């Protein structure tokens, strides 16, 4: 859902990209920095010291910021590559799982809730990956993409209600999972119908030519 706002924020995001691109650090380098901050957040959650929810949440927001930076640096420096996109996607999943494991180790939510949150979060990512391999674009589809999920964890965690944050993540991720299945199924059905109609049209044309 937040991805849909990026077009309106693009001028500001480009400025951020140009600023960080001027450092000379590659997009993959910024991805690694974001991953390090995500690991740091997970460690703070897992350590469960005083104010760990606040500190971990702030660090998680910083990690999310660098998740924006890497893509913008790649665009403004014209270094968008399939390898970079692949690594960014893999790093995102590693970071998300690490965050949930930190929450689990820190005892901020029931284990079964953390398991469900991880499961639905990964299923949301899998449905997009599988759908896009079939030619169906799902970016921006659903109310619980990765950015929304981590924002919920960070903000609601900061105010001290981490277990509720995990429950909200489960709900929005499950809804997004279902939304993406429905959208993909409809898109693939429409494509199949179009191909069928095209085949029937070619068949009718051949029959007319043979009958002439």
Residues designated catalytic: 92
49: alpha, beta or left, given left = phi > 0 and alpha = psi -120 to 50? beta
Alpha-helical regions (H) of 48-110:
52-76, 82-106
Supply 34's token pair. Answer: 């974001």
Q: If we measure between CA atoms, which residue out of 36, 128, 19 comes closest to residue 76?
A: 19
Q: If we measure between CA atoms, which residue out of 7, 15, 42 comes closest to residue 150?
A: 42
CA 16 – CA 14 distance, rounded (Å): 5
CA 73, 76, 80, 85 torsion-angle sign: positive
Q: How many residues does the chain have?
A: 212
Q: If we measure between CA atoms, which residue out of 164, 128, 210 comes closest to residue 53?
A: 164
């Amino acid at each position: 859902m937040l991805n849909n706002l990026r077009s309106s924020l693009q001028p500001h995001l480009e400025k951020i990209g140009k600023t960080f691109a001027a450092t000379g650090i590659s997009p993959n380098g910024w991805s690694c920095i974001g991953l390090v901050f995500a690991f740091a957040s997970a460690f703070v959650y897992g350590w469960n010291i005083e104010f760990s929810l606040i500190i971990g949440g702030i660090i998680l927001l910083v990690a999310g910021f660098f998740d924006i930076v890497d893509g913008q640096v790649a665009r403004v420096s014209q270094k968008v590559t399939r390898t970079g996109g692949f690594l960014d996607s893999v790093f995102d999943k590693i970071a998300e799982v690490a965050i949930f494991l930190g929450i689990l180790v820190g005892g901020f939510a029931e284990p079964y809730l953390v398991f469900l949150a991880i499961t639905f979060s990964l299923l949301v990512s899998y449905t997009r990956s599988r759908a896009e391999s079939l030619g169906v674009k799902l970016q921006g589809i659903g109310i619980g993409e990765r950015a929304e999920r981590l924002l919920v964890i960070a903000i609601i965690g900061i105010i001290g209600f981490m277990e509720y944050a995990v429950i909200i993540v489960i709900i929005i991720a499950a809804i997004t999972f279902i939304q993406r299945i429905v959208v993909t199924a409809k898109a693939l059905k429409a494509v199949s119908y179009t191909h069928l109609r095209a085949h029937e049209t070619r068949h009718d044309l051949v029959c007319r030519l043979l009958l002439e």
